[in-house]
Structure formats: C-alpha cells, structure tokens
Structure 1
Amino acid sequence: MKDIYEKMALFYLGKNAKDDSLSLYKSKHLTTHAAIIGMTGSGKTGLGIGLIEEAAIDNIPSIVIDPKGDMGNLCLAFAQMRPEDYLSWVDESEALSKGKTLQEMAEDLASSNKAGIESFGQDLERVQRFAAVPKTIYTPGSSAGVGVNILGSFAAPPRSVLEDEETFASLINTTSLSLLSLVGIASDSIGSREHLLLSTIFSHFYVGGNSLSMEMLIQNIITPPFEKIGMLSLDTFYPQNERMKLATLFNGVVASVTFSAWLKGEALDIQNMLYNEEGKAKIAIFSIAHLSDEERMFFVSLLLNAYISWMRSQRGSAVLKSILYMDEIFGFFPPLKNPPSKEPMLLLLKQARAFGCGIILSTQNPVDIDYKGLSNIGTWFIGKLQTKQDIAKVVDGIAANSEFSKEEIAKQIATLKGRHFFVKNVHEEQTQEFYTRWVLSYLKGPMSKDDIKTVMQAKKEALPQPKEREIFVQTGMTKPLLNENIKEYFVSANEDSCFYPYLYAELKLRFFNQKKGIDTQENLFYKLPLDAKTFTIEWQNAHEEALMQKSLQAPANASYAQLPELVMREKSLKGFERGVSDFVYESKNLELFMCEDLDLESKLHESKRDFLVRMEDTLKELREERIQKLQEKFGSDYEKLQDKLQKLNMKLQKEEAEASSKMADTLIGVGMTLVSAFFGKKTLSASTISKGASTLSKGKDVLKERTDVANAQLLLSDVEEEMQTLEQRLKEEIQEITKELDIKNYSPQSLIIKPKRSDIVITDFALLWER
C-alpha cells in the first residue's frame, strides 16, 4: 500500500482519529499553503517535520526557517537505526535518573523508534530513502553550521522580478528596511531619508543588472551615482555630512568582529540550496536561534526576498515544486505592525501558488498571523488551543461542512490530545481529526550550537576551502615605478591595509551557432593575484569579479606589496593579454542540453543541474496529468460501484427493518478502499482489502440466515469481484505511469558550442592595486 500512495503524490500524515484509516493529503494542495496552529506540546514540530519528510521522499525540496532550533532534528534520520546512531544523542541526566547506562538508553531509543515507525506501517526502507536526502543546517552569523555569505553581495534580481512592478518594489523596500533595522534605524517607506536613499541606490544598480556588495553600498551612500532624489537635489535632500554618518553606521557593522561570520560561507543561492548537481531535492535548514531579534529580522527578510527572486525565475506549475516552511511565525507576520519580513511573506502567499511553491507557517496562536494572510491559506492544521480568543479565531472556518457543531469543535480543540489535529482543507469536503504518524527523524528537541557542529562537521569538511594567499609585504614600501605604457587601477576599500597587486582583464565573448539560431555575447571579468614569488602567469588561478568602481589615480601615502619581477621588467602588459585570451578559448564553452522525448531544450547558460530539475518538474506535471485522466477513466466505474451498493442497501431494507439496519452499516464499509482515497472521497484504510473482504463475509453470514437471499448473495459477489478488479487495475496503471515517467528513463543530450578566437575581444587590461 505504501508504494501506491507515494506514487500517487499523497503525503502520509497519520491516521484518522475516528477509524484509524490512513490520513492522506494531496501534495498539490500545499500550493495553496498551510498553517499549523497549536499550543506548546500539541505536536506542531512533529507534524511539520512529517510534511517535510513526505516532500523529500517525493523529491520535493524545502527551505526551512528555524527560529527555535527544533527543525535541525531532520538531520537525525538514521538509515540503519542502530543503537550506536543514537548514542551521541542520549541525555546523560535522563539515563542517570532511570538508572541506565548510555548504551542501554541508546538501545532503548533505537528499539522504541523502530517500533514506533513500524506501528504506522512504515519500514526501514522508507527511513533510508529519507536519510539519503541531503540536508544542511545553515547558521548565518555563526560558524556552528555552514555559513551563509549574506553581507558579501546583494545579488541583482532576475529580469522577471525587474519586470514585475509589485515584486520589484517589495524587494527594494524590504531590503532597505532590513538593512536599516540592522543598524538600529526604525524607518518607513515614505518619510525616511535613509530609506529613500538606500532604495534609490539599490534601484539604480539593480535596474542596470548590477549586484552590490556592502563595501560598494557604503561607497555609494557617501557618493551616490545620481544627483537627485525625486525633485530635490541630493545635497538638499540629504547633505553629504549626514550621509557620512549613515555610511559610518554600516561600516561599523562590516568592521565588527562578530559580523565577520556574515561574510563567510555559501552564497545565498536558492537553486543551489534546493537541488544537488543531479537535480535531486535537498533540505536547507536556516537555524537562527542564536541571532538577536534585529539580526533575525534582517536575515529572514533577505532570505524571503532571495526566495521570491528565485521563484519568479521559475516557470509556472500546477504541481508542488518546493516548500518554504517557517517553524514559528510570531513577530514576522503580525496583523497590525509592518516589520520588513511582512511584505515579502504576504507577496509569497499571494503569488507562490502559480509557481508550484507551497508556504507552511507554524505558530502557537492564530492571532500571530495577519488577517490578509489568512485568506490566502488553504489548509489549516489545528492542534490543541486553550484561550477563547485563539479558538474563536479558527472555529468558524473549521465548522463549515463538519459533522460537528461550532460548540462541539470548540470543546474538542480545547481538549485535543497531543499529536491530534483537526485538518480543514478547502480542496476537500469535510473536516477530519487525525493523529500524526511517527516521524522518520529522531526528535531530540532543540539543537544547540554544539549539536549543530556535530551533525554538520563532515559536510563542512567536504566544502571547498578558500586558498590562503601568500603575500610578501615590505613595510612602508612605496608604489613601484613602472613603464608609462602600463595602465594601473586603484581600488581602495580599507585604508588601513596596503595595496595588493593583480592582473585585471575585461573581455567580450561571443557564441554563434547559425543552425541553433544562437548569437549571444557575455562580458567576462578576471582578477589574477600576484606576489613577489609569481614566476609564471597562470590564468586558471584567477577568479571572476567585476570592478564597479576603480580609479586611475594612486592614493597618497599608501604602502604596496611587492610586484613580481616578470611584471616589473615589462614595458607594457601586451605580453600577458594573449594568455588570458587563450585561457578563455580553452575553458569557456556554451553547453546546451536537450531531451527530445520531453521536447525540452535548455536556456542559454542553464546548467545541467537546472535542466535536470526542469526535466523532473515536467515529468511530475505529466504524471499529474496522466493520473487526472486516470481518475476520469475510473470515475464512471467507481460511480457504478457506488450505485450497486446503494441499490443493494435499498433491497435489503425492504426485507426486514432489523436486518437492513445491520446490513447498512456493513455494506457502507465496503467503500473504504484505495479507490475512495484515489477519488478524494475518504481516507485510505490501513488494511483496505482485508477490511472489505471481512465486511463482505459478515454480510454473507447475515444473508445466509434468511431464506430468500439468492439475488442479494449474487450481487454481493459481483460487488466484491468488481471492487477487487478495480483495485488491481488501478494499482497496475499507477505503477505503469510511475515506471514510464521515471527520470531514469530520460537522459539529456549535450551540445557544446566553442567560441572562435575572433569572437574573444579584450576590452580592458590593467595592473590592479586593491586594498
């Protein structure tokens, strides 16, 4: 049964509280978003982890924002579930209080978790599938987990964001607000000079397709690249001495020892955090429990903006492609205030559905969520609540189409057991109460920094480490005297440092292929570090970086690192230009990918990973389309089966009032099959076929007690045979669809387009001094 519901894109949430049938949830329903609400101890974390586990098993990636530290437990899924896997996570004080050794406690944990998982019809193979999904705990501003380079660069948004006025305005607004909150400036979007200045700077660079670093932002606060803000001159609106004070505040942030960690780690690349190189789903957990309130708001706002920019670059989809989960929304999406995180969150709730992105918000109190956001949430998971205000906030929505009255629901919400939830799904007819399944991850509770270090140690060691550059500096050394034909640039970001030398090259590279209709050009920028021990120019050691602001004038009273002799003796840099041109010719190709079976071609500069992700998304959509047709195909047969059951019930009612009462209850149970779950009529029974057969058997026993039952018995046999046939056909066709549309059956073909030497043009080449 497990193989069937997982192939049908159904999430296994737990069991129905009324009859212990499986509680299943269609993954595509998450595109209308969900809220998990319940007081402490209600089981919110377990439900949230269960949803993310189900998504990961179905190759759907997740971004998880973790303000409390609980969601790192997703990394504690043990493929073999051995006692030694749990040994590191045993609470020594708990073992002592129970009079057990650490080994004995580990054995108990392994045994109890294995038994718990199996009690919900799950097995070790399912644990292994989830354990194999890559998971990373990111800790911005801390070295405990994998770092995130937040302050290094504010990446320019894709063209799709620039062309959407509402999305672009939100990006600019929240980026500026979050930065100002970081330096303790409360701002609004209309009357604040600081906000308008930052917004104008970001807009100027982003419209031009240029990213900004913190250093560049500080420089542009002092000397903006425009002369007016609105109708007023820059100096009238915001005098330079006042702008210098703002720049000093941000410089203090960058210079702070504690903020050096914000400059280290992976770039905030959502696509890279969601998928590995094979296009398989990953789980990215952003642990922010260690941050101050201001830092949390700053980071969450930037993360939401990055997610929106990524989302807007995706094509539309009716199936669930990714999840953004926030474990505690309190303070980030309030009903009355407007913190920097509120606008992008509301934008996501309004727009994400069109791109197949599901937003899940978890909170202890429904009053924590803005009322505009509530109207955009399609699924509500309501756990135990105690205050009348909280219960009143949710009871109206749950009571619709429920078998219970508002008063009964209010009472039940106040007395729900742990791990029990009411689920109200706008796509389903009825409200139901269910209890969550045993999760595949070990729930140890909030993870400390040391815990995060432990689980992320191997991953951090596997990350590429930046090479330390060996610099030979002579104290107080003046700038070397060079031939006048050697062009020099100067970039000064830190006046307390000396200037280090680089070769700097800018090039234009054209790719042309008449057959494919390709004629595209890109700009390349290279910085190659030099030092006194550089004896040969190796451009493969260069890194790509554009210089937005550079000067031809050497600053006075500066010190310089030593130049290599091979540069000192040159009359010009022409001899080095050939090397960078050769390097580009050998290393730069335009690779295109195709999948003829899916009628897909890659976009320009689309990586193989991203193309594989698009292939997987296409296959998901095709599976959804085929299953939809399957529902239509089996729909008439299902309705006929229901009609037969109804007719049989009516006939038996005519026989005898007492017998008809017994048979009515008996025969209604026959409908609890996989077919019912498939058509969204009812949750799936854990032992569907056996229950149906048992029910039919009991029905036959009752009928045999009567004398005139030959026709009813024949009809019962027909119903049983039709049901079993329908069930088997359904299984076979689902398996066939899944097998046929497995990405293993589709391989992308590659086409390499190499540039011509004449299509590589060096537009600028200089000796760069940077400090």
Structure 2
Amino acid sequence: MPFIEAPTTFYLGRRYDPARHRLADEVVYYDSRDLTTHAMVVGMTGSGKTGLCISLLEEAILDNIPAIVIDPKGDITNLLLTFPELQPEDFRPWVNVDDARRAGLDVPSFAADTASRWREGLANWGIVPDRLKWLKLAAQYSIYTPGSDTGLPISIMASLRAPRDGWAGNEEANRERINGTVTALLALIGLNVEPVKDREHVLLANIFEMSWRQGIDLTLEEIIRQVQQPPFDKLGAISIDDFMPEKDRYKLAISLNNIIASPSFQSWIQGESLDIQNLLYQPNGRPRVSIFYIAHLSEPERQFIVTLILENLLGWMRTLSGTTSLRALLYIDEMFGYFPPYPRNPPTKDPILRLLKQARAFGLGLILATQNPGDLDYKGLTNAGTWFIGRLQSQNDQKRVMAGLESLATADNGLNLDAAGRLIADIEPRVFLMHNVHDTGGPVLVHTRWAMSYLRGPLTRQQVAVLMAGQRQTLAQKLAAQVAYHHQGGYTQPLVPPSVPGASPQAGPPPTLPGQTPIVPMPNFGAQAAPPVNFPPQSAPPANLAPAASQVGVPRVNGFSSGQPSLPSSVKQYFVPYRMSGTQALSAWQQRTGFAAQSATGAVLAYRPVLMAQAAVRFQDRKTGTYTAQHYHYRIPDVDKTGLIHWEEYLAEPVDVRELTSEPLANAIYGEPPPGLTDSKRLTALQRELTDVLYNTARLIIPHNPTLKLYGDAQAESGAFFTQSAQAAREQRDAEIDKVTAQFEKAMDRLEERRDKKERELSAEQKELADRKREETFTKGEAFLSILRGRTTYTLSRTSRARRYTRQTEEDLQESVQVIRDLDQEMDDLEQRFEAELKAVNDKWARAANDLQEHVITPFKKDIHVELFGVGWLPHWYADINGQPVLLPAF
C-alpha cells in the first residue's frame, strides 16, 4: 500500500487486524511534534522493539531532526548500515557469519539472500531506493566509544568546566548540574551517595560551587588537590576537619586519584569535547546522529558517562528558545538501571526526570526503550505521551505495563484498559499497541514497516572501528592541531616572569597548562582501516632551559644590545609580558619544527621591536540591533621611513592593554629598532593612515535570512545561524502544514460523506432490484395464467410495467456504482494534490532556510579609537640549542 511522504509525518507501518491476524489496508502515521511529549517503547527480545525504534529514528532523520543515541548493547549502530543500491556486496562485510552457518550457506550466498530479502521487504512496504539515499545523506552518523579509542573518543573535561553563561541568575540549574556530576563521579569510584546526606557529596559539591562561582574551570587533578586542602575552612557551622577529617579526605583523594592513575583514563580525556551543540549539528549546521556505544563499559562507567551526557543536554537545552516543533531527539535504547522505581536513585534518574518534565517546552523529545518493564519508575513516566507496547515475556511484565497505563487513562483519551489488556496479552512480533494522548481515537495496533537500515544485530568494536576510520582520522588531525596551537603559546594565562625589583609576584600557571611536560605526538585513535596520521616526529624530552643568571658569557646575537635603545619621547613603548618559560618555549619550538634539542643552554630574555598598533572599532546598526566593538591588532616588524604598508598582512590577535607595561624586565637584551620606528613624524602619519585603512576596510558581517527576517550573531559560526534559520523555517512550515491539512481534511470529509450516502443508496437500490426481479418473475407466471383465462390486456400491461421498473432500477444501480467510482477517483486525486501541496510547502520552507545572506555594517570615523600605537617589544628567549644560537618566541 502506498504512503504519503510528508514533513512532520512519520511512516510507522500499517494497522493490524487482531481478529483476522493480518494487515489492514490503512497506513499508520505519527506526527513528529507528538514526540515533544516523549515516547516509551516496551517489548521483550524478539518483539521487534529495535526495528520500531530504528524506524522512528529513520523518519526523524529524514525530517532533518538531529539525535543523540545512548546505545548500551550496540543495536542502534545498525543505523550506519544503509545500502541504497541493495547489492549483495554491500551486505557481505556485515552479515553475521554464525547466521550464515545456521542457514547452511556460505557468506557470499547468505549476503545475496539477505540483499534479496531486504529488497523485497522494502518494496512490499512501498519504500523506494531513493528514500534510502535521502536517509544516508540527511545527516552525519558518528559512533562515540567513551573510554575507548575504537570509535570516536570523547573527552569528559568539558563537564568539569564552569558554566559559560555565568553563575548569577542560574544558581538552581547550576546546582542541579553539580549534584548530577558529583553523584556520577562518586559512583565511578564505587560510592552510591545521596546529595545533602553524604559528606563526600557535600564536600565535592562545595568545591565545584566555589570554583564555578568564580568562573574557574576544574580538572580532576585540581579536584583531588582541593579534596586534600579544601579552599574553605568551614562547611556550614562546622570546621572542615570536624566535618570530614583529613585522613578521610585523603582516602577520598586516593580513590579519585586511582581514576586518573589508570592507563585507560587517557581515553576519557583525549577526544571530542562533550559539547551538545557539536554532537547534534555539523559545522555547517546540518544534523548529526551521535551514537554513544557503551557496551564495553562497566556499570559505574555507564552511569558516569550517561549522567554527564544528560546534564550537558540539560545545560544546552536551557540556552534555547521555546518551540512547539520537534527540534532534537534523545534516544536511550535500554532503560534498565537508569530509571528504576523508588527507593533506588542512581545518578541518571534525576536528570532523566527533569528532561521528561522540562524538555517539551524546548522541542527536545525523548524516546525511552526497555525490555525490562519491571525496572521502571512508572510514576515518572506519566510524562510520556506515547506508549508503544509490544510482545511481553510474562504475565508479571504485562501487569506492570498495565499498571503504568492506568495512570494515563482518562475519560477523553479513549483508553479502554480492559481492551488494551486483552490486546497486549495476545500481541504478535512486530506488532505494537500504540497509545498516543494526542490521538482522540484511542489505542491502535500497528505492524511496523520494514526498516531501511540493515538490522544485523549489535556491531563488534572492530566493526565500529572500520565504520569510524575516516571520522577518527579527521578528529585526530583536529586534536593534533589544537595541541600544536597550545604548545605554541595559544593560551593566554600569564606565567611567572623573572624577578623585577619592586615588582609584585604574579600568579603562576595551573599544573595542567600545556608546555610543562615533555611534548609527545598525539596518539592515533586505534584506527584499523584508516591511513596513519602524519604527526610530527617524536621529540626528545626538552632540556631544562632555565634563564641564565646573567648575560656574562652568553654569545651575543647580531642586532641585539644589552642597553635599551633610545627613542624619541613622543614615541610610546609597550613591553609585552612573556607567556612561556624557557622550557615551555623550547618545547613549542620542538613541536613546531620537529627537531630534537639534544642540548640547550642558558636562556636570556630578548626583546624584539615591532610597530604595535591596536584600534577598537565600534559598529552600531538599528536594523539588526547591533551595538558592539571589534579590536584590530597589528604587529609590523620592519618599518622603513618611506614605503607602503600592507596592513592586512600583519593582523594579529588583540591584546589586553592592561597586561602591557612601559618598563622592561631586568637582565634583558634588545633588538635594534628599524629606521621607521625612530621617526616620530613617520609614526604619526602611519597612525592617521591606520584610521583611514580601518574606515575603508573594517566591516562587521551579520548573517541574514531575508525570507525569515532573521539576523544572526556576528560572533557565531555560520553553521549556528543555519541551525537557527532551519528551526525558524521548521516552525513556520509546521504551521502552514497544519492549515493545508485542515483544508484537505474538510474536502476529504465531504467526499467521504457523499460516498457513504451513495453507498447507502446503492444498498437500497440493490435490494429494490432484487425485489423487482422477484416481482417480474411472479408477474410473468401470472400473465401466462391470465392469458388462459382471457385477461390479456391487463396482464400484458402489468408485465411490461414490471420489466420497465426492473430496467429502471438496474439503470439507477449502474449510475450509483459509477458515482461511487467517480468519488473514489476524486478522493485519489485529492490525496495526490494533498501530497503535492505538502511537498511544495516543505520545499518552500527548505529554500527559506537556505536563504543565507550577509548584512554588512560599516563604521563611522568617529567610531574608530586607536588604543595602542608605538613600539612594541616582543619577548623571546635567546638560547644555544645543539650548538646554534636560536631565538624562541615567548609570547
């Protein structure tokens, strides 16, 4: 039976007739917006639960809805096994060898049989190969393997960072996040604690809150240090030592340290950040499906990572605006252990409950599945608006599910518990009782359609590695680039400078700052099918390059002197603080060049002069509501007394003017300024030139969607604005589809009413025809007798009249049949027009979402303020490396 391809409409399957044990000729659709009130799927092994859930995800993906999937067993990784060509060679690498052996076939024959079966199954359900192509291209599919480098690694460090939207005004949400994170962290070391009651939880929660209030990110190393030496003297009215003695804190610190001491812990901190926006959307704003494969983890590790995902999801959700459309999905394939009934309270339970209660307003839908209905808190699941109930293993399971349904039964939702109980008791595989609170027609039995993905069962970790080889290679290169950036001094936290008489000491770096340990290449993530990553060659551990005690005996560098050069008094000078010690600068040099420092001796601070200029440019625009400033920073090393400067070639990262000083550090050498930096007139002219250059070239680009009348954020990435546009277009599309659907429903209701009326007339005409024929037969017999009796005229006229009535009834009957046929054709034509109209609406708003343009804001000259202009002294370390003099950047 054909189905209608329509946005917001999920094609689930067909209605099932339990009396005749066969499919009914009626397609079952599901409105995607109903998932904002969440769905619960219950069914034993073999019930078809995985097929139903994968079909739901497939339909969501086709509607451009991103998803995060928590996959404890590995079944949902089958989403990546979509083969539009449906050829045997597509299936061959993925078929189960044991299944082939049980079928008495070799692998090639079994793959051919599977391909044929999938081709026929999809065709029987009206699914064409093009639909498989759309599914494959609609999203990027990624498999994350926390704690393992088999798939894509995930880093948990982002979960320890202070909230980016600040503490003030978000206290309740931040404390909920702290409670969940601390509970999960303690569960990882085997402590099943409760917030408020257990002192370990109270201590860690206070450590988190104190740091996050100040906007300070935490690391596990820092948490361990603060457990031993808390940053507060009292908790409540009790001293910290009375609240938790030092020996108990030490024991807790040791337990936490065992986590990071484990060699496998590196797999938890090296990888993609647990950033929900990036897990749901590609850089270009297109959807992603991020599957967290956790079959290899222990139960405490599962609780830990799932809790972090849920808490990060809650944090991301609160940054969104409200919507009635489905924005994204969270799917948990097996709820066992995550949402148990009272009194059990694992760390995952509270965030799931908060999501069930709050996510609807933000368009985030949850699909929760289980084959263990006895291990669910049904009171919490009253927030689930749709229930899919499949075949259950025992009567106890059926009773538990019926108890859950009782809480959903109301007078107006059509849920007959007795009838539902009878259906559940006799349900067949791939058949589900679907109860949707948004559907006033009551529960229906639905036989699920054929899944477009190849359902081969859980993938092995080796198969996951093959699927993720390309993405893992890309991620490895991205992470290696980030490490290289950090080792080159891309971070901005100040380090301890050499001592200066009269200067106050500055804070040193935290223990985890890059550059303080020997540089080693980023590891490959265990790819089996990917080519090797071309990391820089491994370098030897850097020498301990300490600052020289004095300049005596240090070889001189050409162009440098021990005295600070004299410049005109009108020329301003800025000394940049150094951000890398000699050892760190040497490490960065080795990472950057690939050379190993076999020997490195005495480091001297060396200042090199550049023209340093920085201007703040204000951009304001009423139309877009923009009022912001951008900073432009330039460092030009060789400035002559004449000549043209190409400013755009010297653009650099802006600096905080408060960090610059007018005095150098002690024991430094200085480069010779070029002629242009000693000419005050030349510098004055260049400062005027800078203002003119910025007036003519400085532009603020605001992403703009004229169709949707949307303006984005100048600082946001282009993909984020596309996501914003796509969501706005989806909401307007859904509203227009509702209007179109209402119009066509009225037209269809009128046609169905006319058809029903004509069918009643046809039934009456058929009865009348049967009566006429009986009368005609009786009249013929009577006529024969009448002729014998001499009553010919009357009898013949009566016989003629009976024949005329019969012919008239037959003609009326034929006319009614034709009218019904015409009405059927009208209904078919109306359905085709409806489908075409839905496609037109979808295409219209898809074009609207892609109407991305740029709105350019230019500054006035009065909005250009030059903050810095003069000679900037950039710090370097001069050292002798492998017998050669080298200048190492230290900024």
Q: Which residue of 2 aligns with 1:141?
A: 147
Tell me how far 1:434 sits from its aligned partner: 1.4
* Change beyond 3 A, Cα 1:175–1:22: same
Q: What is the CA deviation profile of residues 190-223 of structure 1, one whole-angstrom value per residue up to 9, with x for unaligned ones?
A: 1222212221222233344443222333333344
1:366-406 per-residue CA deviation (whole Å, 9 max, x = no partner) reads 33221232110011010001322321233355887899964
Go from structure 1 to structure 2 and tell me whether the alpha carbon gap of 1:71 and 1:706 turns closer, same or farther (over 3 Å shift). same
How much does 1:607 deviate?
1.2
Aligned twin of 1:640? 750
Aligned counterpart, 1:563: none
* Match among 592, 612, 630 for residue 740 of structure 2: 630
**Is the aligned partner of 1:201 residue 2:207?**
yes
Shift of 1:162: 6.5
Q: Is the 8 A contact 1:511 1:519 kept in 2?
A: no
Look up the match of 1:618. 728
Show CA shifts across 1:424-448 (max 9, x none): 1111122111111111111111112
1:112 is matched with which residue? 117
- Select which of 329, 341, 360 maps to 2:367: 360
CA distance in 1, matches of 2:836, 2:199: 66
Counterpart-to-counterpart distance in 1, 2:262 and 2:807: 84
Does structure 2 conserve the Cα–Cα contact (< 8 Å) formed by 1:383 and 1:416? yes
Q: Higher mean Cα deviation, 219-228 or 288-297? A: 219-228
- State the match for 1:378 in structure 2: 385
**Are residues 513 and 402 of structure 1, via their aligned partners in 2, closer, same or farther at CA, if it must alter by over 3 Å?**
closer
1:304-328 CA deviation, whole Å, 9 max, x = no partner? 0111111111221111111100000
| Residue 760 to residue 183, structure 1, CA distance change in 2 (3 Å) | farther
Q: Select which of 7, 32, 48 maps to 1:43.
A: 48
Aligned counterparts of 1:448 and 1:709: Cα–Cα separation in 2: 66
Shift, 1:608, TM fit: 0.7
Distance in 2, matches of 1:352 and 1:703, equals 68
* 3-state DSSP of counterpart to 2:70: strand
Structure 1 distance, partners of 2:37, 2:148, is 34
CA distance in 2, matches of 1:74, 1:544: 46
Corresponding residue SS for 1:7: coil
CA distance in 2, matches of 1:446, 1:761: 64
- Which has the larger displacement, 253-262 or 706-715? 706-715
Q: 2:62 matched to which residue of 1?
A: 57
CA separation of 1:753 and 1:184: change in aligned 2, threshold 3 A:
farther
Cα distance, 1:170 vs. partner?
1.9
The verdict on how the C-alpha distance between 1:718 and 1:168 changes in structure 2, with shifts beyond 3 A counting, is same
Cα deviation code 1:262-300 (max 9, x no counterpart): 111111111111111222211100001101111000000
SS of the residue 1:317 aligns to: coil
Any idea what SS the aligned residue of 1:346 has? helix
Correspondent of 2:174 among 168, 171, 187: 168
After TM superposition, the structure 1 = structure 2 runs for residues 61-460 of structure 1, keeping only pairs within 5 Å, are 61-132=66-137, 133-151=139-157, 154-159=160-165, 163-164=169-170, 166-240=172-246, 242-336=248-342, 337-395=344-402, 396-397=405-406, 406-407=417-418, 409-428=420-439, 429-460=441-472
Q: Is the Cα–Cα contact under 8 Å of residues 501 and 767 in structure 1 kept in the other structure?
A: no
Instruction: Tell me how large the CA RMSD over aligned residues is.
Output: 4.4
The 2-side partners of 1:118 and 1:712 are apart by 36
Structure 2 unpaired stretches of 5+? 18-23, 485-520, 522-535, 552-561, 563-574, 590-604, 606-612, 633-648, 657-664, 678-689, 771-805, 878-888
TM-score by length of 2: 0.68
How many residues align? The count is 680
Is structure 2 residue 35 aligned with structure 1 residue 30?
yes
Q: Mean Cα displacement is larger for which, 472-481 or 428-437? A: 472-481
Report the Cα distance in structure 2 between the residues aligned to 1:486 and 1:264, rounded to whole angstroms. Answer: 32
Q: Does 1:513 align with 2:624?
A: no
1:749 aligns with 2:761: no
Mapped partners of 1:362, 1:93: distance in 2: 27
Rounded Cα–Cα distance in structure 1 between residues aligned with 2:630 and 2:257: 33
Specify whether residues 764 and 155 from structure 1 end up closer, same or farther in structure 2 by C-alpha distance, changes over 3 A only. farther
Equivalents in 2 of 1:288, 1:589: separation in Å? 47
Distance in 2 (CA, whole Å) between partners of 1:140 and 1:591 is 38
Partner Cα separation in structure 2 for residue 717 and residue 389 of structure 1: 51
SS in structure 1 of the partner of residue 367 of structure 2: strand
- For the structure 1 residues 97 and 245, does the alpha-carbon distance in structure 2 shift closer, same or farther, using more than 3 Å as the test? closer
Tell me which moved more, 63-72 or 755-764. 755-764
Distance 1:46 1:158 in 2: 39
> How far has the Cα of 1:721 moved from its partner?
5.8
Counterpart amino acid of 1:748? L
Report how far residue 767 of structure 1 moved.
Answer: 8.8
What's the secondary structure of 1:95's corresponding residue?
helix
Structure 1 residue 740 and structure 2 residue 844: aligned?
yes
Counterpart CA distance in 1 for 2:865 and 2:66 is 42
Aligned to 2:500: none
Which residues of 2 match residues 651-690 of structure 1 at below 5 A?
Answer: 651=761
**Could you tell which deviates more after superposition, 714-723 or 724-733?**
714-723
CA gap of 1:261–1:438, structure 2 versus 1, over 3 A, is: same
The aligned amino acid for 2:353 is: L
Task: Tell me the secondary structure at the aligned position of residue 190 of structure 1.
Answer: coil
**Structure 2 residue matching 1:78: 3-state secondary structure:** coil
The offset of 1:229, in angstroms, is 2.9
- Equivalent-residue separation in structure 2 for 1:394 and 1:508 (angstroms): 68
Q: Match for 1:13: what amino acid?
A: L
SS across alignment from 1:330: coil
Identity among equivalent positions (%) equals 34
- Find the structure with the greater CA-based Rg: 2
Higher relative contact order (CA 8 A, sep 6+): 1
State whether residues 137 and 452 of structure 1, in contact with CA within 8 Å, keep that contact through their aligned partners in structure 2.
yes
Distance in 1, Cα, partners of 2:768 & 2:39: 46
Q: Could you tell me the TM-score, scaled by structure 1's length?
A: 0.78
d(CA) in 2 for partners of 1:193 and 1:89?
50
Distance 1:745-1:477 versus aligned 2 partners, 3 A rule: closer
Q: 1:53 to 1:724 in 2, by over 3 A?
A: closer
Aligned equivalents of 1:631, 1:764: Cα separation in 2: 70
**Cα distance change, pair 399–347 in 1 and its aligned pair in 2 (3 A):** closer
Whole-angstrom distance in 2 between the partners of 1:659 and 1:160: 83
Q: 1:632 to 1:296 in 2, by over 3 A?
A: same
Structure 1 residue 604: deviation in Å?
4.9
1:136 alignment partner, SS class = strand
